[in-house]
Structure 1
């Protein structure tokens, strides 16, 4: 990950506080993704832009920034379902499904990222919904593991 003069390293709690302040004022917040829970769609070091929901409510397929209630840890995961008391949220490469409320623990949504994953508004929402359904069913996680096994096998054959 390349750092420049605008790069600040901070704890998850500090970043969540700064993000919440920017979002509540109607602004956007830019950060680098850290971790592997959203692989392969968001890689470690990917630059993310988080924006407020404005008039809209979160939708299944949205990738959101939220704070875990107990630890106040900042997490970027995908909405995979809706409940009367909140949303079901899961990392694409994670087994755990969490419940979050909006407004409240959900701070904002990922507006853009530094890759060519999304190809426009229609494809963005359609792709996000399909990924959410596959993620909730743990199909993406299974496919990711199979891909790693195949890659390892191919490397051993070489």
Structure 2
């Protein structure tokens, strides 16, 4: 507690010392309120960025792209797993192109979460096309025993659009 009675976040450091021939403990109390507030703001900013990164980009009626970009940790992968099915239903998407080309770092737990999105979409009756799978991500999926036999995979979003019969006017 501060002198005015308000609570404060602190770090406490205790160090044993010899003062003459007596053993004593020197204690430091440091106010970390500003540090905690900064961490809270940073977490909120990361949460907002992650919410933006789960944006489905509508292309045509019933078709959308989920571009996955950057580094995905377990928390972000779980957020994708929770948010994407809801967004797919609210946007009436019946074909979702999940583009992995912007993903650079993954671990096996994150890979498993990302491929679970495909399984959930299948249960919802949404066709998924996976694009931009890098060799290391493909190996990780095989090592995890993820079955993609019934999932369409393509090299690029452009290939997926051509498969769906959408061609450019050029």
TM over 0.5: no
Question: Which has the larger Rg?
Answer: 2
Superposition TM-score, scaled by structure 2 size: 0.27
Q: Which has the higher helix share?
A: 2
Q: Which has the higher strand share?
A: 2
Superposition TM-score, scaled by structure 1 size: 0.28
